[in-house]
Amino acid sequence: MMGIIFAILVVLILVYVVCGFRIVPQNNEGLVETLGKYSKTVKAGFVFIWPLFQRIRKVPLALQPLEISKYSIITKDNAEITTSLTLNYLVTDSYRYFYNNTDSVESMVQLIRGHLRDIIGRMDLNAALGSTKEINDQLFTATGDLTDIYGIRVVRVNVDELLPSPEIQKAMDKQLTADREKTAAIAKAEGEARTIEMTTKAKNDALVATAKAQAEAVKTQADADAYRVNKLQEALSNAGEGYFRNQSLDSFNQLAQGPNNLIVVGKDEMTDLGKVPVIKKVWDQSGDNAE
């Protein structure tokens, strides 16, 4: 009978001891409590606790993502925007994480929300919509040290979106459309002004070119007339008196053959009359040469 009781006790002791072995997974720490009070922290691996008197709480140390759902924020100019963000955090002190706060993650979320409201609340709507990177940097700096009291370190925080309210979005769309129409109207007016400027310049250039061509033609004609006059004077200077007398007789013969054969001239002018056909002949020849 005693042997049976001893065997039962041995079996119970073995079961008790076996039940005391625990495994703490990789990237975890174990918080050992004795009679409900913290006693020690154990690393990942094979550990032993006293069943019924002790228990172990496993705390993950790996990097964990978290998405904070959309919520509203009021900007400096009283515009309502909806924001959502994501972050990555890890537990740096398992004791603080588990015992200093009933829900350290929720406390961290509330802290980040409060700082984000403060940052955006000091910015106008347009500044906030265009400063996502600056907001991320300020938020990361503001929350980095404060979350240490929860045994948590925020590794990355990112504002995923900043959306104005539907009413503000409609107003912004109208303003954007008006700005685009204004830009298009300005571009059209500038194009028309440029076209008028180019057309006017082309007309002015054509007028200048025409005036230059006309001036050149007048100069050429004047040069030709001057050349013919010089030739005429040269020919008259080289002709003898006998030649002019012969021409005068020919002129009188031509007049006599015409219907109007009466002409009165002085005796001194009779010889000059012979110069008329000579002048005409020389003038015509000089004109041909000038051309």
- 47 and 56 in contact (C-beta within 8 Å)? yes
CATH of domain 64-164: 3.30.479.30
* Stretch 97-107: mean pLDDT: 87
- Tell me, what's the pLDDT at 28? 92
For 182-193, what is each residue's pLDDT tens digit?
Answer: 777 787 788 888
CA angle 89, 90, 96 (to 5 degrees): 115
Whether pLDDT at 268 is above 80? no
- 270 and 244 in contact (C-beta within 8 Å)? no
Mean pLDDT of the chain: 77
- Other Cβ atoms closer than 10 A to 132: 15
Whether pLDDT at 195 is above 60? yes
- Tell me, what's the pLDDT at 255? 53
Q: Which residue has the higher pLDDT, 81 or 239?
A: 81
* Stretch 89-116: mean pLDDT: 88
Q: How far is the CA of 91 from the CAs of 44, 106, 112, 146, 237, in angstroms?
A: 15, 14, 16, 14, 126
Residues whose CB falls within 8 Å of the CB of residue 87, separated by 6 or more in sequence, listed in order: 65, 66, 68, 112, 154, 155, 156, 157, 158
35: phi then psi, degrees, rounded to nearest 5: 55, 40
Q: Hey, where are the domains in the chain? A: 17-60, 64-164, 224-290
Question: At 232, is the pLDDT very low, low, confident or very high (cuts 50, 70, 90)?
Answer: low
- Tell me, what's the pLDDT at 247? 54
For 201-217, what is each residue's pLDDT tens digit?
Answer: 888 888 888 888 888 88
Helix 104-121 and helix 132-144, axial crossing angle in degrees, nearest 10: 130
Residues whose CB falls within 8 Å of the CB of residue 104, separated by 6 or more in sequence, listed in order: 96, 97, 98, 150, 151, 152
Instruction: Quote the CA–CA distance of 124 and 139 in Å, as a whole number.
Output: 17
- 104 and 152 in contact (C-beta within 8 Å)? yes
pTM of the model: 0.54
